[in-house]
Amino acid sequence: MRSTKARGLTSIAILKNGKLSEKRDLFNPPAMQKLRYRFKEFRALRISLSLKFIIGTGVALTVAMGVTLYFLSMKHEKLVLNQVDLQAKALFKQIVLTRKWIADHGGVFVLSSSEKPSPYLSEPEIIDLKGRKYIKESPAMVTKELSKYAKKEGVYWFHITSLKLINPENAPDEFERDALIEFEKGPAKESSSVVKDGTGYFYRYIAALYIEESCLKCHSHQGYKIGDVRGAISVAVPMDYAFSIIRSERKGLMLASLVSISILMLVLYLMMKELVLSPVNKLKLSMNKFSKGEKTGVSVIRTGDELEDLSRSFVDMADSLTEYHSGLENKIKDATKSLAEANERLTELNEKKSDFIAKVSHELRTPLTSIKGAMDYLTAKLSMLSKTHGDTGDIPEFFDVIKNNADRLIRMVNDTLDLERIESGMFDLEQGDVSLLPLIKEVITGFQSLSGEKRITFKITSSPGIIVYADEERIRQVLINLLSNAIKHSPEETTINVAVRESAEKITVSVTDEGPGIAFELQEKIFDKFYTIDKRRGTGLGLAICKGIIEAHRGELGVISREGEKGSTFYFTLPKAEISPLSRGD
């Protein structure tokens, strides 16, 4: 047999799902390493203040420049179109003035040797004294010839047209026809549009021609009168050059915007680095030094702005914390000293209390044992006297009362002494190999008289040969207490089940009765010392001692019960251990 001593709590334990588990399992090194790795990953995702500033400034400047560039581009394009429109209108007025001059002079004669005169004019040709032929040209004919010449040169071209044609060559195209119809309907006098054909983009401008007095010489037979719309002149100006200018200007604006954004971002970054980031880094360094206890590195950062105010506030706070910390350290030292003295005093008082209880228990146990022995002797004598002299009255009953109370006092003294040893960590265990099934049968046999009064039967469920390494007397004490409580709270003619189950790591012994259930809020309290459900019976030390015994064996004592349901199960577990050398026969 080996003797071991139960020590105090060697590790902090927490309650999880109704079971105790060691706290060190929650802080094992692999879990901490994984947590630190996750934290480093999170820190790596952070973006520095300077990068945030650059990104935010870049986005803001890009959006602002983009909007500005868009409106400037639209304004420039509109300006170019206005210039082209003014050019087209100037050409139109020049053509109209030329036509008016020709009409006012009755046409012009041009030297020609091959062209045929117009059949629509009176006196269409003349011949000079030298025999040279001159053909008369009307305003419309001059306009057409000038248009061909201008188109040939590639500068611009124009076209005279009408809905009432004299010359089929002046037939309107789609753009001209739509404009002429609008001129006929209402107040519209001009129209313009940018169109595209197979050669490129053109700015088309068309304006109405009105009948004047000089026009009636050629068109009076068509029914016109002064002020009527005779037709229109459309001017086409090539837009390729204008569009090339617009594209070139857009590229220039875009390049200038990019350069401006880059310069602004660089300037803003340098300003922020010098005015904000550098002081903030200094303040951060001061905070880190202060957090590490380096008070010499804390100083005001001279910037002349809000950062200096912030730095000064931090320095003031650091001074206040330092002063407070110094005062707190002195208070802690004084409090620690007082606590140490109080702890020493409490330890001394606890030792004296334990020594007092042990001595009182020992001194009480000796006379109580003598009283019990004397009562047993007197009871035997009274039994003999009753046999020889007859009835002895009620004296035996009083002796039984005295004997039962003496037994109760002895149990209370023993329980008190055991509980004090458990709490002081001086609880001795004489451990060895214990066969559970014979021990359970032995304890049950001791309750035959008490269980017989209530006609209670016992049912044992266990595999033979289950052996634990434990203190046999202490395990017997636990079984006696659990079975005694089960008998006490079981109705008559019921069954108490005792089961032993073996698993890979532990052995569980359970005692199940058919008594009333225990309320959930009371299931933890019943293991406290001096707590009893039935105030009239018991001292409230039995289950507390059992709990201390089982925990000294590194096991667990618990209860499974529900209020309002029949039956409660008290169980205790013992860890499986290697069989001792004695049981192996070594």
What phi-psi label fits residue 11: left (phi over 0), alpha (psi between -120 and 50 degrees) or beta?
beta
How far is Cα 514 from Cα 486, in angstroms, rounded to an integer? 8
Which residues are within 8 A (CB) of 87 and not within 5 positions of it... i.e. 6 or more apart? Answer: 237
pLDDT of residue 24: 40
Low-confidence ranges of the chain (pLDDT < 70): 1-49, 113-115, 118-122, 154-155, 212-225, 227, 294-298, 351-366, 368, 372, 386-387, 389-396, 399, 403-404, 407-408, 410-427, 529-540, 577-586
* Cα–Cα distance measured from residue 153 to residue 338, given in angstroms and rounded to the nearest whole number: 114
Write the CB contacts of 583 (distance below 8 Å, at least 6 apart in sequence).
Answer: 433, 467
Report the C-alpha gap between 153 and 143 in whole angstroms.
15
Q: Are the C-beta atoms of 424 and 354 separated by less than 8 Å? A: yes
Q: Which amino acid is at 534?
A: D
CA dist., res. 269 & res. 50, Å (int): 7
Residue 220's pLDDT is 58
The pTM of the whole model exceeds 0.75: no
362: tokens are: 């020992």
Strands 133-137 and 125-127: antiparallel
Give the DSSP per-residue string, 115-138. PPPPTTSSS-EEE-TT--EEEEE-
Q: Sign of the CA dihedral 330, 331, 332, 338?
A: positive
pLDDT of residue 114: 64
Per DSSP, the three-state class of 497 is strand
Predicted pLDDT of residue 362: 61
- CA dist 286 and 276 (Å) reads 15
CB–CB of 76/249 below 8 Å? Answer: yes
**Helices 49-104/139-153 angle, 10° precision:** 140
User: Which residue spans within 31-90 are E strands per DSSP?
Assistant: none
pLDDT in the model for residue 425: 63
Q: What are phi and psi of 137, to 5 degrees?
A: -115, 130
Between strands 495-502 and 457-461, the pairing is: parallel
For residue 186, what pLDDT is reported?
75
Q: How many other C-beta atoms lie within 10 A of the C-beta of residue 400?
A: 12
**3-class DSSP state of 184:** helix
Distance CA 49, CA 156 (A): 60
Matching residue, tokens 């001074």: 319
